[in-house]
């Protein structure tokens, strides 16, 4: 992606970097992803029971509010993606992070159903949605050939946060209470990612006289040619919908498993302490799978990785209610981790791989709207299934059919060929 008519910008931060600045961008983008946790299901689940008890609301009603708020928050993401494309990731992440920090503080003041709904809308739309979008965007525009490796490394950072961020939240709750804990999370966001984004986030490397991936020597060859699909053009391709639906299934069904985790594990006979140990293999395998999937996507067609992710998701759904002892805890956590890790790598890099970087904010904004909507549907689907069937087994088995069918079909679907020039 070259813009020869515009002279390079000067940046003292970039010029003083002892390594290719894309690696600095990767670290900053990964930290941005980590700081979305207060708005992710993983982080919210730590607060969930306390919110229900404090506000005197039923679990099903809170689940419904969470669903509606998540879906509504996702509707703004196509616009957010276009703004990131136009205004650049640096300005965008500053505004988004400040708003997200205030949203976390607002959660400490919720008093009833209406304010809880608004709080969920803000932290889901700004945290899981907008801040995630900006953080992935910055990594995508600084890497092309090494994009898979870059998102794999980012996945390692996210997996570590999966293991330790809930412990931080639990510690804050134990030391203070859930309301103060959410306010402190807002302060942490404001004091970390806001200045970090202002200091380190930068737009396309070409604007600073650099090439993606840090190509500086002739032995590596010229930077690769890229496609330049607009969001409208991308949406008219089967490739876009193949990966978006795959992301949707893992987002919806994986979120449902995490949201109702302790209840599902209780059906298999596990107490809360034993159920919590599932997150240990989940975190480590998610890290390894995300890194491996990222590296593989630099070498094999991403649709093969997508098919594997679908198989892992189906396997996790079918095994969830059969977890009853140490061995099955490890196996279930590992299978779910394989699904989540490969999905994370795919979601971060597949769209830029096929459609290029020029309009990736708008493209990812639209696809993220659909996948975030999926995260709103999964918890409600499993709650309704539990009420209708008197347990989780049937609804999980039915749900497994969707990723299983896509896993079978995906290897035979023709995707866009590698670009032979900018279109």
CATH code of the domain covering residue 298: 1.20.1250.20
Q: Is 152 exposed, middle or buried (0-12, 13-18, 19+ CB in 10 A)?
A: buried
Q: Which among 78-87, 166-175, 189-198 has the top mean pLDDT?
A: 189-198
340 CB burial (10 A radius; 0-12, 13-18, 19+): buried
Spatial separation of the C-alpha atoms in residues 339 and 337, rounded to whole Å: 5
pLDDT-derived band of residue 422, with 50, 70 and 90 as boundaries?
Answer: very low
Q: Which residues are CB-neighbours of 306 under 8 A, at least 6 positions away? A: 242, 243, 246, 342, 346, 350, 406, 410
The number of domains in the chain is 1
Regarding predicted confidence, which is higher, 134 or 204?
134
Does the residue 217 lie in any domain?
Answer: no
Q: For residue 418, is it within any domain?
A: no
Q: Do the domain assignments include residue 7?
A: no
**Degrees to nearest 5, angle at CA 360 with 356 and 365:** 150
Report helix angle 21-34 to 147-175, nearest 10.
40
Is the pLDDT higher at 421 or at 120?
A: 120
In a domain, 78, yes or no: yes
Its pTM stands at 0.77
Let me know: does 314 contact 404? Beta carbons within 8 Å: yes
Could you tell me if residue 203 is inside a domain? yes
pLDDT the model gives residue 421: 41
Mean pLDDT of 336-352: 85
- Identify whether 219 is part of a domain: no
- The verdict on residue 233 lying in a domain is yes
Q: What is the mean pLDDT of residues 28-38?
A: 92
Asked if 382 and 159 count as a contact pair (C-beta separation under 8 A), the reply is no
DSSP codes, 107-176: HTT--SHHHHHHHHHHHIIIIIIIIHHHHHHHHHHH-STTHHHHHHHHHHHHHHHHHHHHHHHHHHHHHS
Is the pLDDT at 108 greater than 90? The verdict is: yes
Is residue 421 in some structural domain?
A: no
Mean pLDDT of 52-66: 86
In terms of residue numbers, what domain contains 238?
Answer: 15-208+227-411
Q: What average pLDDT does range 335-361 have in this prediction?
A: 83
């Amino acid at each position: 992606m070259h813009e020869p008519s515009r002279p390079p910008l000067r940046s003292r931060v970039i010029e003083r970097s002892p390594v290719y600045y894309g690696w600095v961008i990767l670290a900053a983008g990964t930290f941005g992803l980590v700081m979305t946790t207060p708005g992710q299901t993983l982080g919210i689940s730590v607060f969930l029971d306390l919110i229900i008890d404090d506000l005197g609301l039923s679990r099903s009603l809170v689940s419904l509010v969470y669903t509606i708020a998540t879906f509504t928050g996702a509707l703004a993401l196509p616009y957010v993606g276009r703004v990131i494309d136009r205004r650049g990731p640096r300005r965008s992440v500053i505004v988004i992070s400040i708003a997200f920090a205030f949203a976390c503080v607002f959660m400490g003041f919720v008093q009833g159903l209406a304010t809880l709904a608004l709080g969920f809308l803000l932290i889901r739309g700004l945290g899981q949605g907008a801040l995630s979008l900006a953080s992935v965007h910055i990594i995508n525009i600084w890497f092309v050939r090494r994009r898979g490796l870059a998102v794999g490394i980012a996945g390692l950072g996210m997996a570590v946060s999966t293991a330790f961020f809930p412990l931080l939240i639990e510690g804050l709750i134990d030391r203070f209470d859930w309301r103060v804990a959410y306010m402190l999370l807002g302060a942490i966001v404001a004091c970390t990612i806001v200045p970090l984004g202002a200091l380190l986030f930068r737009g396309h490397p070409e604007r600073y006289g650099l090439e993606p991936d840090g190509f500086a020597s002739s032995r590596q060859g010229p930077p690769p040619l890229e496609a330049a699909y607009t969001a409208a053009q991308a949406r008219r391709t089967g490739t876009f919908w193949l990966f978006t639906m795959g992301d949707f299934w893992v987002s919806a069904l994986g979120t449902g498993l995490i949201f109702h985790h302790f209840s599902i594990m209780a059906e298999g006979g596990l107490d809360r302490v034993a159920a919590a140990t599932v997150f240990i293999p989940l975190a480590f395998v998610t890290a390894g799978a995300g890194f491996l999937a990222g590296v593989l996507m630099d070498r094999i067609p991403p649709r093969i990785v997508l098919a594997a992710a679908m198989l892992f998701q189906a396997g996790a759904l079918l095994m969830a209610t059969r977890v009853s002892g140490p061995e099955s805890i490890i196996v279930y956590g590992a299978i779910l981790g394989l699904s989540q890790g490969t999905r994370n790598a795919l979601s971060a890099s597949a769209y830029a791989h096929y459609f290029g970087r020029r309009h990736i904010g708008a493209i990812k904004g639209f696809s993220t709207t659909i996948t975030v909507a999926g995260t709103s549907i999964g918890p409600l689907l499993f709650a309704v299934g539990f009420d209708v069937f008197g347990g989780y087994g049937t609804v999980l088995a039915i749900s497994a059919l969707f990723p299983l069918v896509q896993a079978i079909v995906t290897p035979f679907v023709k995707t866009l060929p590698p670009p032979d020039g900018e279109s």
